Amino acid sequence: MRPLGVVLLLFAVQSARSADIAGLAMKDHWVRIGNADFELYSNAGESAARSALEQLERVRGFFAKASPLPLIDEFPARIIVFGSHDQLAQFTPSGGQQAFFVASPKRDFIAMWAAPDQYRFAIHEYVHLIVRHSGLKLPTWLNEGWSEVYSTMRPVGDGVAVGDLVDVRMNALKTEKWLPIETLTSIDSNSEHYRAGDSTGLIFYAESWALTHMLFLAPDYSDRFGKFVMAIHHGRTFDAACQEAYGKSAAAVYADLETYFQRKKMFGRVFKAPLGKAGPAVEAKTIEPFETRLVLTDLLAALGKKAEAEAEYKKLEGEQPNRYEVSDSEGYLALAARDANGARAAFERAFAANDPDPKMCLELAMLEEAAKQPLERATAPLERAVQLKPNYTEALLQLGLIQIAARQYESALQSLLKIDKVGPERATPVYAALAYGYFETGDLARAAKDAATAKQYARSEVESQRLTALLELIDARAKSPFPPQPGEKTQRVEGALRAIECKPAGNRAAFSIGDKILIFELPNPKAIEFDRAGTVSGPLNLTCGAQKPIWMTVEYAPASVMDRASLGVIRKMEF
């Protein structure tokens, strides 16, 4: 915001001033201090660095207990605390910011300077980070307003007070002309009101804070604030969300806001959850200029200053060739620029040099798969990712999916079952993959249970329809004359369908495979999984009698599981 702006775009407008990366790295003493949640770099002195880390740890502890938003942060946020505002200003899109948050494919950054009141700035930016990871889609006014309301949090007794007045916001509301509610709620990060550093921007932030303050904390509104936020998240307009949550029009809510401010009695709230406790003392390590330059260049890249970042990476690469850290960063820069080939090449160099970044390994695997490389090209980096970070949810999910694609169903189930926390945002893919793995290994009861769970969390009609089809297939196979048993292992052959023999005792299909005719039990088509490869146009009609030869791959359960004089029962047809 201005002055507490959040930069959420990967390609922000570049400031005219260039950052003096080498100067900052060479002339100052930089330290790194961190834990599982934050990695903090600072040239403001060890004391300032330790203080900032402890403050962030305590704030995170509070949000872990009291936040209405889930904390989903599998990788530590990178915090940079500069020794002066002038140093910070070299990286901000405009010089007036006291702190900012920026997200990038590599890391989330919070940058600030060691100001006397940095505590409030840090909280504001950290709330932006929480909102981003929560998956909530919030308009700019609500994102900024909510962050500013929380920025005033302070310990009181056995809890935390939120909602103190912010002088700069109160002064703007007194002296500046208010924006119409339609204007306020339609402003986005590209709008002049958001980017301006003058009174135009001040009143936007002040009104955003005041409106959020009322909706979040005022007794007439707070109980239904969650419903309002979810309506906004699902794409409702401000007016529609107000009607849905409060039974009021946007104009009526705006009138309440004017009264709320004019009566000079704005409500606060005490959350019965204390600030978290700072962890044990962590050693602060002095870092070499090369690492400092790389970290600061990563910040440039996150801000969308591609040309500057690219030039700095080339300098670093020239000084110390074959450092996986540089290849890693170059890959993320290409990824942000949507250069998939460039990102894959850089990540492959980093991987070959034993880069221990599990996130890079995941990104490389996804790029290899998108480039239609052999499955093992994606499997290797995923296996390294989960070796480095055993609880890495997304890597475990993708490894499970690739193992399913490779028909390694038992291995896929082992990978997927290592996911210890399945949030709503990943419930459908995780449980759908589990359902399919159990289905293919013959455990239909568990397959049906997980498919039903996946459908419960489906976020689109297409997802819901696919899971309905899977549930119907599971049910049909369970009711067929040849139901599978847990642990079933299927086999595959290729051949041409020649004939279907229909008899009261059961249907059979004849295939020519090589120079032989092989017979398979043919259950109800509803119990067969069909996979179209595009080689056959139109529907597949399994009618009795001789067939026009259709080449296909047949997956079948061997006859050892049945008392039948055939090769086995068909489970899947790919054609």
Are the beta carbons of 381 and 361 closer than 8 angstroms? Answer: yes
Convert the pLDDT of each residue in 453-485 to its tens digit: 999 999 899 999 999 999 999 999 999 999 998
Please give the DSSP secondary-structure letter assigned to residue 76: P
Are the beta carbons of 64 and 133 closer than 8 angstroms? Answer: no
Distance separating alpha carbons of residues 444 and 483, to the nearest angstrom: 9
Rg (CA), the chain: 29
Closest CA to 15 of 306, 336, 293, 305: 305
Q: Please, what is the average pLDDT of the chain?
A: 90
> Nearest-5° angle of CA 191, CA 143, CA 423?
130
Q: What is the pLDDT of residue 151?
A: 94
Q: What is the pLDDT of residue 538?
A: 61
Q: What is the pLDDT of residue 191?
A: 80
Convert the pLDDT of each residue in 494-527 to its tens digit: 999 999 999 998 899 999 999 999 999 999 999 9
Higher pLDDT, 38 or 278: 38
Of 85-99, 168-182, 203-217, 525-539, least confident by mean pLDDT is 525-539
Percentage of the chain lying above the pLDDT 90 cut: 72
Q: Which two tokens stand for residue 37?
A: 């949640």
Percentage of the chain lying above the pLDDT 70 cut: 92
Q: In what order do the strands lie in the sheet with 38-42?
A: 99-103, 108-113, 77-82, 38-42, 31-34, 285-286
Q: What is the pLDDT of residue 268?
A: 85
Average pLDDT over residues 52-69: 84
Of 47-61, 178-192, 486-500, 525-539, least confident by mean pLDDT is 525-539
Closest CA to 129 of 187, 56, 184: 56
Q: What is the pLDDT of residue 264?
A: 64
Closest CA to 7 of 138, 149, 104, 119: 104
Closest CA to 395 of 360, 368, 423: 360
Residue 8 has pLDDT above 70, yes or no: no
Element (H, E) at 575: none
Average pLDDT over residues 99-123: 90
Convert the pLDDT of each residue in 368-419 to its tens digit: 999 999 999 999 999 999 999 999 999 999 999 999 999 999 999 999 999 9
> Nearest-5° angle of CA 215, CA 100, CA 309?
145
Residue 263, CA distances (Å) to 163, 170, 257 in order: 16, 13, 10
Give this prediction's pTM: 0.85
Q: Amino acid identity of 373? A: Q
Closest CA to 308 of 1, 5, 8, 16: 16
Range list of H helices, 20-84: 21-27, 46-66
| Domains by residue range for the chain, with CATH | 1-137+282-320 (3.40.30), 165-267 (no CATH), 491-574 (2.40.50)
Q: What is the pLDDT of residue 3?
A: 36
Residue 68 has pLDDT above 60, yes or no: yes
Average pLDDT over residues 487-491: 92
Of 167-176, 350-359, 361-370, 563-572, least confident by mean pLDDT is 563-572
Q: What is the pLDDT of residue 281?
A: 66
Per-residue confidence band for 15, with pLDDT thresholds at 50, 70 and 90 = very low
Residue 158 has pLDDT above 60, yes or no: yes
Q: Is the dihedral of CA 433, 434, 439, 445 positive or negative?
A: negative
Q: What is the pLDDT of residue 534?
A: 61
Are the beta carbons of 535 and 546 closer than 8 angstroms? Answer: no
Per-residue confidence band for 303, with pLDDT thresholds at 50, 70 and 90 = very high
Adjacent-strand bridge partners of 518: 511
Per-residue confidence band for 5, with pLDDT thresholds at 50, 70 and 90 = very low
In the chain, the N- to C-terminal Cα span, in Å, equals 56
> Nearest-5° angle of CA 516, CA 517, CA 521?
140
Per-residue confidence band for 335, with pLDDT thresholds at 50, 70 and 90 = very high
DSSP string, 118-136: HHHHHHHHHHHHHHHHHT-
Q: Which residues contact 69 (CB under 8 A, 6 or more apart)?
A: 63, 130, 131, 134, 136
Q: What is the pLDDT of residue 294?
A: 97
Per-residue confidence band for 25, with pLDDT thresholds at 50, 70 and 90 = very high
Are the beta carbons of 83 and 41 closer than 8 angstroms? Answer: no
